[in-house]
């Protein structure tokens, strides 16, 4: 006897009886018997009997066990949820608490319906499993029982059926046996009992499946309430997080710098004595601030700028005026360089100075023009300003002006450092600034010719001494 729910083994037990029935029906068909459900094609009996081949009731039984386990888990969850209703009611009071309790209770009711449906599904599947097994087992048992009815005639009938199909020598005898003995059995027992059992089994299997699927499909759909704020269609708004500063700041490429201007060749002027007003060995020389007035002219050594040369000329004129103001002191001291350079002597550096002056004009024409313009513009007005200052400037003011004039000019800030350049050529004597008078200790010729006093000259030159 086959194990319960083992469809393959159970069908195998009734397969010999199905083979006997197939031999009987085929022999009857050879002698002229016709039936649409029995003789339509040679293997029709096998198809009727084997309609449940491949049915795995063990798999269906496993599905039933899974449904039972799911129902148990759901029942435990329902029990926990019901216990939370009591906890919620005890921990919270008020209208909000009542609404929350009712909300959880509705969840419990819906969960209870789900548990009920899962249990019902498990029961239906178990019923399907049992029904299918009963149908298969009944079909096999019926097939065997019908075949047992002709147990006494089975050897003779099987021999006659084989002789009829093989065209043997005893064919007439076999045809007689088939028509008189086998055909009545097929038309009565097989067509009525056996075929009816096969039809009912096939219909019963299909009806069992349809009943279970219809019941599962007709179960009410469970609906669990979800608050609006927690609904599946609502996306939670992410908390605003302050933007973290970047680990590395964005580096903006520096704009391309223009190439630096070419640095002019630095030339040096010949060094002159720091104090022309003092004779060797004479302690009563002109004050250091006055005697070093030639330092104003050294400003031209910083690249040969014409603007500094003009200032140097004005400073020299102020120094000349101060020398005249001091009077006899300057006359007694005289010019120590006058003996070395008598009138009419030729200056050996004059030619070089003239050449260098031309070069300086070419190198800085604009600066040379600017240095020359103040002198030309101020010379015609000097006489007028001196006439106005004859009676307005006292002697004390002239002395203060002279002292202020002796102060060295404020040096302009050095130019920005230039990129390294090639080693400059040997120093060449810087040209004398164009339009600037030669340093002299005496008063200017214009002032002497016009008869201006030293105070007038100082007052006239003071506005021109600034930068």
DSSP tally for the chain: helices H, then strands E? 17, 0
Residue 457 has pLDDT above 90, yes or no: no
- Predicted local confidence at residue 182, as pLDDT: 94
Rounded to whole angstroms, the Cα distance separating 293 from 283 reads 18
Residue 183 has pLDDT above 80, yes or no: yes
132-154 residue pLDDT tens? 999 999 999 999 999 999 999 99
- Predicted local confidence at residue 383, as pLDDT: 41
H-helix segments, 256-296: 288-291
What's the token pair of residue 28? 């009857």
2-34 residue pLDDT tens? 788 999 999 999 999 999 999 999 999 999 999
Query: Can you spell out the DSSP letters for 388-438?
Result: HTTTTS-HHHHHHHHHHHHSPPPPPPPPPPPPP-PPPPSP-PPPPPTTPPP
Residue 210 has pLDDT above 70, yes or no: yes
| Chain CA centroid to CA 23, Å | 82
Higher-scoring residue by pLDDT: 101, 314? 101
Sequence-ordered list of residues with C-beta below 8 angstroms from that of 33, at least 6 positions apart, any chain: 25, 39, 183, 186, 187
CB-based contacts of 15-18 (< 8 A; 24+ apart in sequence): 15/49, 16/147, 17/143, 17/144, 17/146, 17/147, 17/148, 18/45, 18/46, 18/49, 18/50, 18/143
Query: Can you spell out the DSSP letters for 285-306?
Result: PPPHHHHGGGGGGGGGGTT--H
Residue 273 has pLDDT above 80, yes or no: no
What's the token pair of residue 83? 């216990």
Q: How confident is the model at residue 452 (pLDDT cuts 50, 70, 90)?
A: low
Neighbours of 31 (CB within 10 A): 14
Rounded to whole angstroms, the Cα distance separating 277 from 330 reads 8
What's the token pair of residue 453? 């006093």
**Which DSSP state fits 344?**
T
- Report CA torsion sign: 277, 283, 289, 290: negative
Rounded to whole angstroms, the Cα distance separating 135 from 197 reads 9
Residue 73: is it exposed, middle or buried by C-beta count within 10 angstroms (0-12/13-18/19+)? Answer: exposed
Rounded to whole angstroms, the Cα distance separating 289 from 267 reads 26
Nearest CA among 447, 465, 363 for reference residue 406 = 465
Domain boundaries, the chain: 7-227, 288-339+349-410+426-464
- Predicted local confidence at residue 461, as pLDDT: 64
Rounded to whole angstroms, the Cα distance separating 312 from 446 reads 18
Residue 345 has pLDDT above 60, yes or no: no
Higher-scoring residue by pLDDT: 60, 384? 60
- Predicted local confidence at residue 342, as pLDDT: 47
Contact (CB, 8 A) for 43 and 95: no
Sequence-ordered list of residues with C-beta below 8 angstroms from that of 360, at least 6 positions apart, any chain: 304, 306, 368, 430, 431, 433, 434
Q: How confident is the model at residue 97 (pLDDT cuts 50, 70, 90)?
A: confident
Rounded to whole angstroms, the Cα distance separating 405 from 427 reads 32
Contact (CB, 8 A) for 3 and 45: no
Highest mean pLDDT among 113-127, 226-240, 449-463: 113-127
- Predicted local confidence at residue 462, as pLDDT: 63
Higher-scoring residue by pLDDT: 276, 116? 116
């Amino acid at each position: 006897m086959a194990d319960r729910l083992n469809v393959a083994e159970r069908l195998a037990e009734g397969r010999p009886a199905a083979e006997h029935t197939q031999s009987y029906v085929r022999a009857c068909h050879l002698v002229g018997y016709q039936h649409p459900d029995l003789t339509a094609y040679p293997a029709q009996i096998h198809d009727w009997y084997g309609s449940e081949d491949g049915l795995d009731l063990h798999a269906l039984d496993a599905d039933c066990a899974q449904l039972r386990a799911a129902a148990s888990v759901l029942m435990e969850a329902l029990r926990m949820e019901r216990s939370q209703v009591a906890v919620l009611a005890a921990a919270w009071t008020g209208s909000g608490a009542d609404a929350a309790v009712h909300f959880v209770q509705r969840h419990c009711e819906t969960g209870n319906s789900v548990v009920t449906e899962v249990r019902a599904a498990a029961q239906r599947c178990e019923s399907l499993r049992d029904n299918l097994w009963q149908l298969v087992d009944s079909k096999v048992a019926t097939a065997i029982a019908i075949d047992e009815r002709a147990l006494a005639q089975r050897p003779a009938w099987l021999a006659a059926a084989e002789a009829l199909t093989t065209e043997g020598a005893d064919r007439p005898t076999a045809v007689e046996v088939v028509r008189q003995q086998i055909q009545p059995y097929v038309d009565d027992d097989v067509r009525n009992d056996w075929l009816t059992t096969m039809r009912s089994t096939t219909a019963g299997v299909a009806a069992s499946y349809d009943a279970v699927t219809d019941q599962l499909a007709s179960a009410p759909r469970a609906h669990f309430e979800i608050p609006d704020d927690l609904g599946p269609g609502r996306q939670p708004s992410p908390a605003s997080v302050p933007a973290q500063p970047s680990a590395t700041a964005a580096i903006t490429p520096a704009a391309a710098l223009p190439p630096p201007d070419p640095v002019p060749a630095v030339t040096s002027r010949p060094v002159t004595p720091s104090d022309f007003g003092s004779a060797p060995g004479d302690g009563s020389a002109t004050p250091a601030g006055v005697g070093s007035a030639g330092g104003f002219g050294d400003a031209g050594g910083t690249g040969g700028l014409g603007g500094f040369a003009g200032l140097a000329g004005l400073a020299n004129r102020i120094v000349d005026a101060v020398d005249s103001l001091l009077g006899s002191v300057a006359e007694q001291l005289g010019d120590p360089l006058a003996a070395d350079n008598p009138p009419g002597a030729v200056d050996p550096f004059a030619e070089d100075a003239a050449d260098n002056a031309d070069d300086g004009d070419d190198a800085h024409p604009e600066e040379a023009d600017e240095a020359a313009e103040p002198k030309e513009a101020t010379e015609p007005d000097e006489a007028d300003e001196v006439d106005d200052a004859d009676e307005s400037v006292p002697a004390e003011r002239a002395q203060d002006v002279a002292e202020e004039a002796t102060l060295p000019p404020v040096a302009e800030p050095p130019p920005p450092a230039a990129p390294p350049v090639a080693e400059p050529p040997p120093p060449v004597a810087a040209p004398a600034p164009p339009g600037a008078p030669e340093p002299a200790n005496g008063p200017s010729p214009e002032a002497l010719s016009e008869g201006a006093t030293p105070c007038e000259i100082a007052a006239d030159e003071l506005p021109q001494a600034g930068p």
